Amino acid sequence: MDIQPLTIRTDLALEAKEFAAGKTGGQIPGISAETEEDNGIKVTRMDVETEEGAKAIGKMRGHYVTIEVPELRGRDSELQSRVADRFAREFEHFLVKLNIPADANVLIVGLGNWNVTPDALGPFVVENVLVTRHLFQLMPDQVGPGYRQVSALAPGVMGLTGIETSEIVQGIVERSRPDLVIAIDALASKALERVNTTIQIADTGIHPGSGIGNKRKGLNRETLGIPVIAIGVPTVVYASTIVSSAIEMLLNHMKERVDGTREIFGVLDRLAEDERLQFVREVLGPLGQDLLVTTKEIDGFIEDIANVIATGLNAALHEAVRMDNAAAYTR
């Protein structure tokens, strides 16, 4: 089944799979997934193995890892440390899967607009990652073992620079010749519970701005000529999604307490999820009220999750940092 015409507004492959599975009533050919939970951290690893599977969920073929932590909004520093450690381990698996050697030159790209808090994840991560490429070039004899060459930049958005982000990154890749690009961006979700609680890692690259409908030229192996690992966190959700979810919760709530809800709610009670969502969009769209919505705690959350991702990347990319962290855990 091709769900592309339904224009599901989500950047999360897991959500796209769940939606397609709900429409087909079971497994989707060409897609395999496994899930494990560990003390409040749920990890789902999904492989989109065939073009049929990719078409069914509207995502590219590749490997996706989704880390869900419902309590992440609580700003618990101990939990954040555990999430950073789990993120680092999952990211290391990507490096192994893509055959990235320990001495590979890595470029980290923080996508997004640093002037708009929900879109500032990428630039915030770039501020916190350990960059070393200049040290390798200027004073290689003073770089200790266990580090690799890492460079980072936040190229901004086309509204600020007048240049496509992909063009900026392509130019830097051509000049600095990294072996791997890591692209970090804020995402959009279709589920309220996943906003600010989920991290996605994918080896399929990324299309800056796709979550809010501003599709730009992608950053992937085809455009850059090298592997691209994308990291994203959903920080916004559409108003139409909130309204549709609220209607569903209201229906379920009333069904538990009142008989004859079908007569009360009429056609709303008979609409499938995608039909109800499309109905809400048709109401809000012409009025210009299908807004992108985020939580009121977004300022603190962006700082926290950026630190989590940066800490995880530092540990995954630099063996010396990983060993220091391991020593700290054992003390």
What domains are there in the chain, each with its CATH number? 4-240+291-330 (3.40.50.1450), 241-284 (no CATH)
Distance in angstroms between the alpha carbons of the first and the last residue of the chain? 53
Q: What's the pTM value of the predicted model, to 2 decimals?
A: 0.87
Range 203-222 average pLDDT: 75
Residue 207 has pLDDT above 80, yes or no: no
For CA atoms 93, 94, 97, 99, the dihedral sign is negative
Q: What percent of the chain has pLDDT over 70?
A: 90
- 180-189 vs 228-238, strand pairing mode: parallel
Range 55-83 average pLDDT: 94
- Vertex 103: Cα angle to 101 and 108 (nearest 5): 90
pLDDT single digits (tens) 242-279? 888 888 888 888 877 777 676 667 777 777 777 777 87
Q: What percent of the chain has pLDDT over 90?
A: 62
- 228-238 vs 292-293, strand pairing mode: antiparallel
Q: Would you state the structure tokens that stand for residue 316, as one six-digit string?
A: 């995954």
Range 35-46 average pLDDT: 95
DSSP bridge partners of 107 = 151, 181
One-letter amino acid identity for 240? S
Per-residue confidence (pLDDT) for residue 220, from 0 to 100 = 93
Residue 329 has pLDDT above 80, yes or no: no
What letter would DSSP give residue 85?
A: H
Q: Are 72 and 303 in contact (CB under 8 A)?
A: no
Residue 317 has pLDDT above 70, yes or no: yes
Confidence of residue 82 (pLDDT cuts 50, 70, 90): very high
pLDDT single digits (tens) 60-70? 999 999 999 99
